[in-house]
Amino acid sequence: MSTAADSATAQTSGSFLRGRVASFLAVAPLGVWTVNHLWNNLSAFRGGKAWEESVTDYSHPVAQMFTGILVLVPLMLHTVWGIGRLFSSRPNVGHYPMWENVKYLVQRLSAIGVLFFLAAHIFKAMIEPRLRTGHGERFEDIAWHMRHHPPTLIVYVLGTLAVAYHLANGITTFAMGWGLVSTKAALRKSEWLNWTAFAILLAMSWGSIYAMWLAGA
Ligand code: HEM
């Protein structure tokens, strides 16, 4: 006969497993793909043709579909789990204003920023151009908007700031959660990893935005 304690244990191990899966998917393939996507966007410095070849053109529709599934399904799963975490955990930085608690709060605030940014970005940059014109976004379009449409520029600057923080800090919490970082010395080093990753991701994002802004003149 199963008891209330059994069902509580089953529930806890279920949510533990979901947490593990969501955490893993956030790093691979999602985090890896994000870094690759930011890297590809830097080809904006080499002009429109190079950017379109790296970012929006696919050799075959099947390759495009495969990439879409490989990225969008893990993103959806992580997002559903993340929204659940936002409602089920409470930041305690008001009572204990420690550095780690501040980072915990910012991780959650950045998650909300990433959520809104990705909803707008996926629709405006991926879905809408294909529905309207049958192909991916053109470089001249995005470059023009970066230069002449301030809301686009602001959304990209703030959205990529949120992504850079969320992923960089997420890599650190991932390393802690999976037992890769446990000693005090390793924790100190992970702080370096956190801020170095943040600086690199932000430089890649804002670098691409700057290249588009220049090209849109
Ligand atoms: C490009 C998209 C995203 C990437 C690469 C990403 C990556 C990550 C990583 C690596 C972690 C750390 C996992 C761990 O500590 O084991 C994390 C945590 C988290 N993510 Fe995301 N994420 C993305 C989008 C989102 C979205 C759209 C949400 C929606 C709300 C979200 C909500 C969260 C939350 C709440 C946490 C903290 C969970 C916790 O520590 O309890 N993420 N994310």
Question: Which residue among 35, 88, 114, 160 is best mutated to probe the pocket of ligand 1, counting the most ligand atoms within 8 A of its Cβ?
Answer: 114
pTM for this entry: 0.92
Q: How far is CA 28 from CA 21, 180, 216, in A?
A: 10, 16, 34
Q: What is the pLDDT of residue 7?
A: 59
Q: What is the pLDDT of residue 5?
A: 61
Q: What is the pLDDT of residue 139?
A: 98
Every domain of the chain and the residues it spans: 22-215
pLDDT of the chain, 217 residues: tens digit per residue: 556 566 566 667 788 999 999 999 999 999 999 999 999 999 999 999 999 999 999 888 898 898 889 999 999 999 999 999 999 988 888 888 899 899 999 999 999 999 999 999 999 999 999 999 999 999 999 999 999 999 999 999 999 999 999 999 999 999 999 999 989 999 999 999 999 999 999 999 999 999 999 999 9
In short, whether 113's Cβ falls inside 6 Å of ligand 1 is no
Q: What is the pLDDT of residue 92?
A: 85
Q: How far is C-alpha 141 from the geometric centre of its chain's CA atoms?
A: 23
Cis bond upstream, residue 129 (ω within 30): no
CATH, domain 22-215, list 1.20.1250.20, 1.20.1300.10, 3.40.50.150, 1.20.1530.20: 1.20.1300.10
Q: Which of 156, 170, 157, 161 is nearest to 121 (CA)?
A: 156
Question: Which residue among 24, 78, 117 is best mutated to probe the pocket of ligand 1, counting the most ligand atoms within 8 A of its Cβ?
Answer: 78
In short, whether 208's Cβ falls inside 6 Å of ligand 1 is no
Q: What is the pLDDT of residue 95?
A: 84
Q: What is the pLDDT of residue 63?
A: 86
Q: What is the pLDDT of residue 157?
A: 98
Angle at 149 between CA 148 and CA 155, to 5 degrees: 135
* 131: its two tokens: 């529905």
